[in-house]
Amino acid sequence: MKTRNQKAWFLVAPVVLLVAFNAVIPLMTVVNYSVQETFGDNLFFFEGMKWFEEVLSSERFHDSLIRQLKFTFIILAIQVPLGVAIALAMPRKGFWASVCLVLMAMPLLIPWNVVGAMWNIFALPDIGLLGKTLNAMGIDYNFTRQPFAAWATLIAMDVWHWTSLVVLLSYAGLSSIPDAYYQAARIDGASAWAVFRYIQLPKLKHVLTIAVLLRFMDSFNIYTEPFVLTGGGPGNTTTLLSLDLVKIALGQFDLGPAAAMSLVYFLIILLFSWIFYTVMTRGEDK
Amino acid sequence: MARIELQALRHSYRPDPVDDADYALKQVDLVWEDGGAYALLGPSGCGKTTLLNIISGLLCPSEGSILFDGVRVNDLSPEERRIAQVFQFPVVYDTMTVYDNLAFPLRNRGVPEKQIDTRVRAIAEMTDLTEMLGNKASGLTADGKQKISLGRGLVREDVNVIMFDEPLTVIDPHLKWKLRSKLKELHQRVRTTMIYVTHDQTEALTFADRVVVMHEGWVVQQGTPQELFERPRHTFVGHFIGSPGMNLMPCELADGGVSVDGHRIAVDRAIAPPKTGARLELGVRPEFVRFVDAHATDALPVDVIGVRDTGRNKIVETNFAGHKVRALVPEGISVPQGRAHVRFEIDRTQVYANGWIIE
């Protein structure tokens, strides 16, 4: 029999510790909170499923969830087609290809709260370039008072910030299509639309799956930019799930309901991601 | 259908070519007669694919013209030239069925569905795809996919020329042979000009009526397989075609013939003295080296070094005045050992100056 060397465990120990302290233990703490009532002086009482029932039947949660779904859906509906379109229009090689790539990468490199602050100032109706211009053109625009303006600004900001990610992924996908496909399509007399529909789109399927999943998860988790831009207002009209969650957890210090809500939130993201993934890879050979 | 003429064609992939080395195609003047089955043969990197893409219109040549039936088509697209092309690696439209893949070139041209159906079924029959017509193209094996590519190349009836760019690279050997015979058979039926690019001499010689041999951007010879074999116009053709290739050895002019290290060798024509400084070589194929009696006329002394049996023939390796000379001896004829004598068949012995034949 071989002698077994148990020392190998020491090599994985650092990772186990790291994961334990930054993922497993916090997550279990949240699970723990979600089934208890908290009072000051570290008093806890077991409450079972009470908070979950409360969260799931709460109108406030439903409203935030619907706002969140609406936001994510609009973001995806704009960013994916727009990102693919920009990637298609970008030059494939030469000096301008590099220039475009750098320009595209730029928004992704800006810290999120800076993006929020930038757009906040940009859109201010009295001093911002955008706000002032719109008002000067006779459009009554004030994102701090009008829900529609707030939504439009929020979406414009996210499109500006994140479309590049879809562009870069699609661009990489397009660059990997061999020339022979385009040559064959020319010989077959395919129109530009047919080339897109039957060559480019099918070849982009994999990167688009990744792009949609990433954009879905990120937009569903979005916090910093709307927090800085609108702070959830006017009223609650742009209070997305994560904003609401933080309000409950930190603003009101309701640890139990906040924990139950984050678990529900987490499960929703997991569920939607799984649905997206299953639908987009369906009918594929392993 | 068209007669295709290439006039003074040169192509460089660089924007500012200076000398010959910058050109992928150095100088090509060729005529492809209507309805011929041609092979374009040469090693990798000799310019075959460049030439093919120029004919099809995927590439615009740096210099020279392409004429279809006497009309210059340099500026016409592949669509307007009405050509079909099959590429080295399979190109299939993944999301379509096999049927839709085959129908694609016809649908793009607005052919009526009924006509498409007849045509697609006929082509599927020819390429053994009938049973898979309803399947998704993405699920097929590499050779299944290449059959679709071939099928798409063949499906249009109105083409001037069909070009194949090493189409059987990914196909199983036994299927290769079958598909090649199919193509040949098809050619005899439809009589569309076909140009078949390959680096495999067997493929070229079995498919084509005429073979065009390319080497480093030059067309070194165009001819029937027999001409290439019996009278290679360039030493490259001599050693590229034939197995084993032509024996080549340096020689100099001697009165009325040539001599190799003092051994006089007769040739069947008067050799005009070439430009001074030209490198002279004597070439003779192993098939035309015969063992003879020591007293026979033109007998040359050789030392037999080794014999390799290929089944049908024996390849005898000999040393002739320091040069390696191979002889092909049919099975059943005995091979001498040690010191022996050979004769080069006079009308199959060629002399080359700087690689090109002296006629």
Q: Does the distance separating the beta carbons of B139 and A285 come in below 8 Å? A: yes
Give the confidence band of A284 by pLDDT, cuts at 50, 70, 90.
low
> pTM above the 0.80 mark?
no
Cα B139 to Cα A286: distance, rounded to the nearest angstrom = 10
Closest chain A CA to residue B86: A184
Residue B335 in 3-state DSSP? Answer: coil
Q: Does the distance separating the beta carbons of A184 and B152 come in below 8 Å? A: yes
Beta-bridge partners for B4: B32, B68
Q: Which fold has domain A72-240?
A: MetI-like fold (1.10.3720)
Could you tell me how many CB contacts below 8 A there are between chain A and chain B? 50
Residue A117, C-beta contacts closer than 8 angstroms, at least 6 positions apart = A228
Any CB–CB contact under 8 A between A192 and chain B? no
Residue B193 and residue B259 share a domain? no
CATH classification of the domain holding B197: 3.40.50.300
Any CB–CB contact under 8 A between A191 and chain B? yes
pLDDT recorded at residue B180: 82
Cα A184 to Cα A180: distance, rounded to the nearest angstrom = 6
Residue B145 and residue B114 share a domain? yes
Give the confidence band of B331 by pLDDT, cuts at 50, 70, 90.
confident
ipTM of the complex, rounded to two decimals: 0.74
pLDDT at B138 over 60: yes
Closest chain B CA to residue A188: B105
Tokens of B240: 């590229």
For residue A40, give Cα distances in angstroms to A26, A248, A279.
20, 16, 47
The string of pLDDT tens digits covering residues A123-162 is 888 888 888 888 888 888 888 888 888 888 899 999 999 9
Residue B328 and residue B200 share a domain? no
Q: pLDDT > 90: what percent of chain B?
A: 1
pLDDT recorded at residue A165: 93
Q: pLDDT > 90: what percent of chain A?
A: 17
Domain that holds residue B202: 4-237
Residue where one domain finishes, among candidates B192, B211, B237: B237
pLDDT recorded at residue A1: 58
Any CB–CB contact under 8 A between A44 and chain B? no
Residue B122 and residue B156 share a domain? yes
Residue B104 and residue B147 share a domain? yes
Smallest Cβ–Cβ distance between B91 and the set A180, A189, A285 belongs to A180
Residue B335 and residue B286 share a domain? yes
pLDDT at A242 over 70: yes
Q: Which residue has the higher pLDDT, B22 or B197?
A: B197
Smallest Cβ–Cβ distance between A198 and the set B84, B88, B95 belongs to B95
- In chain A, CATH 1.10.3720.10 covers 72-240
pLDDT recorded at residue A87: 92
- Neighbour order of strands in the sheet with B339-344: B289-292, B339-344, B300-309, B313-320, B323-330
Any CB–CB contact under 8 A between A180 and chain B? yes
Average pLDDT over residues B188-217: 86
Give the confidence band of B218 by pLDDT, cuts at 50, 70, 90.
confident
Contact A74, A215 (CB under 8 A): no
Give the residue from B82, B95, B154, B169 with the most A CB atoms within 10 Å of its CB, the best one to mutate: B95
Max mean pLDDT range (A70-84, B77-91, B207-221): A70-84
Average predicted confidence (pLDDT) for chain A: 85
Average pLDDT over residues A174-188: 88
Give the confidence band of B204 by pLDDT, cuts at 50, 70, 90.
confident
Give the confidence band of A281 by pLDDT, cuts at 50, 70, 90.
confident
pLDDT at B38 over 50: yes
Q: Does the distance separating the beta carbons of B78 and A187 come in below 8 Å? A: yes
pLDDT at A27 over 80: yes
Q: Does the distance separating the beta carbons of B84 and A187 come in below 8 Å? A: yes
Give the confidence band of B1 by pLDDT, cuts at 50, 70, 90.
low
Residue B301 and residue B157 share a domain? no
Contacts of A173 in chain B (CB under 8 A): none
Give the confidence band of B191 by pLDDT, cuts at 50, 70, 90.
confident
Contacts of A285 in chain B (CB under 8 A): 138-139
pLDDT at A270 over 50: yes
Cα A85 to Cα B63: distance, rounded to the nearest angstrom = 37
Q: Which residue has the higher pLDDT, A248 or B240?
A: B240
pLDDT recorded at residue A134: 85
CATH classification of the domain holding B297: 2.40.50.140
Residue where one domain finishes, among candidates B171, B205, B237: B237
Q: Tally the domains of chain B.
A: 2
pLDDT recorded at residue A286: 41
Least confident of A266-270, B46-50, B266-270, B314-318: B266-270
Q: Does the distance separating the beta carbons of B91 and A184 come in below 8 Å? A: yes
Q: Does the distance separating the beta carbons of B94 and A187 come in below 8 Å? A: no
Residue where one domain finishes, among candidates B172, B204, B237: B237
Residue B311 and residue B204 share a domain? no
Give the residue from B91, B94, B101, B111 with the most A CB atoms within 10 Å of its CB, the best one to mutate: B91
Give the confidence band of A166 by pLDDT, cuts at 50, 70, 90.
very high
Residue B266 and residue B169 share a domain? no
For residue B297, give Cα distances in angstroms to B292, B300, B348.
9, 9, 16
Closest chain B CA to residue A177: B91
pLDDT at B292 over 60: yes
Q: Does the distance separating the beta carbons of A202 and B149 come in below 8 Å? A: no
